[in-house]
Amino acid sequence: MERLIQEAARRLADTRRVVVFTGSGVSRESGLQTFRDPQEGLWAKYDPMEMATMEGFLRDPKLVWEWYDYRFGMVETAQPNPAHHAIAALERFFATVTVVTQNIDGLHQRAGSTDVVELHGSIRCYRCLSGAHTGFTRADFADQAEMPPKCPQCGDLLRPEVVWFGEMLPEDALERAFYLAEQCHAMIVVGTTGEVQPAATLPHLASRAGALIIDVNPNRDLITPIADFYLQGPGGEVLPRLVSALRLAGRGKLG
């Protein structure tokens, strides 16, 4: 495995524009549950899939808000793990490093990544139900006692600015992700199975454009067949070793 990591690092060090595409496996290493994981405590009797739909919100907005309050609390106490820190450290070696993530927790930014495309939105941001007013934070409605809170501008109900099941991804984020995939020299795929569309097409776009593809996951996935390197293991174990190998290679932006 170590020789494979070193060879991947040598190939990677010859590139300049890098995209890191991350999925829920990276957040799981920080102790955050996915929607597919068994829920705990009071929420064990609820289907999380129903909480992340417009239908569920319209049926019981208070319940859905309480659910996202619970998840926000989990995100607030979670800490970036070695995978997040290693991804941020990649910026020392390349002209550009952009993280394209399916995660909504903001842990990449907290670890120090400076260019992050959030395909599924952010649990830290909110918008009114109509979508006319966006980008609110919890500070904007901290003085509201009622739940769910209302838009400070139009009075409509606020909702988390995340992508629910059945909704389209944010157009700007998706267009930028497609552009980056087609322009990058290398794409490192971490903690995603490559099943969720349309984001799952990104590694394929990059591969067809000639980019080096490195797949990091404990188990083989739908990206593995097109990967130039499959580095088996959790991102928190593999990526720090890849960064160390890059440092030894002595190339990249600082070389």
Tokens of 210: 């000639």
Helix (H, G, I), strand (E, B) or coil at 212: strand
HSE-up of residue 249 (Cα within 13 Å, Cβ side) = 24
Active site (annotated) includes residue 204: no
Catalytic residue among 84, 85, 108, 120: 120
How far apart are the C-alpha atoms of 84 and 234, rounded to whole Å? 12
Asked if 108 and 84 count as a contact pair (C-beta separation under 8 A), the reply is yes
Radius of gyration for the alpha carbons in the chain, expressed in angstroms and rounded: 19
Going from the C-alpha of 89 to that of each of 62, 83, 128, 164, the distances in angstroms are 40, 10, 36, 31
If one counts every other C-beta atom within 10 angstroms of the C-beta of residue 178, the result is 17
What does the alpha-carbon distance between residue 143 and residue 205 come to, in Å, rounded to a whole number? 46
User: Could you give the 3-state DSSP secondary structure of residue 183?
Assistant: helix
Write the secondary structure of 46-81 as one string of H (helix), E (strand) and C (coil): CCHHHHCCHHHHHHCHHHHHHHHHHHHHHHHHCCCC
User: Which amino acids are annotated catalytic?
Assistant: 120
